[in-house]
Amino acid sequence: MKYVYVLESLNGEHFYVGITDDLRARLAKYNAGEVPHTSKYGPWRMRTYVAFADASLAVAFEKYLKSGSGRAFAKKHF
């Protein structure tokens, strides 16, 4: 199972979209500061996630959420 997730910083100013096999472990890494790209904006909370049985669909959805129209979609629906 692949998960596409949207994280939100606790102050609500920053969002991050990613993909993983293990949501709990991934969130723990972000909040421990082990991901350099996001460490300065933490701590993080899980805003939402979507589970996919098909890895290629998960990758395509993550890519979409990182696009301009995907960000607008996420802002409106998540």
Q: How far apart are CA 19 and CA 59, in angstroms?
A: 7
Q: How far apart are CA 27 and CA 20, in angstroms?
A: 10
User: What pLDDT sits at residue 49?
Assistant: 97
Rounded alpha-carbon distances, angstroms, from residue 52 to 11, 38, 58: 29, 24, 6
Q: How far apart are CA 64 and CA 59, in angstroms?
A: 9
Q: What is the CATH number of the domain that holds 68?
A: 3.40.1440.10
Total domain count, the chain: 1
User: What pLDDT sits at residue 77?
Assistant: 85
pLDDT at 1 over 90: yes
Residue of higher predicted confidence among 71 and 53: 53
Digit-coded pLDDT (tens) for 25-66: 999 999 999 999 899 999 999 999 999 999 999 999 999 999
Domain residue limits at 35: 2-77
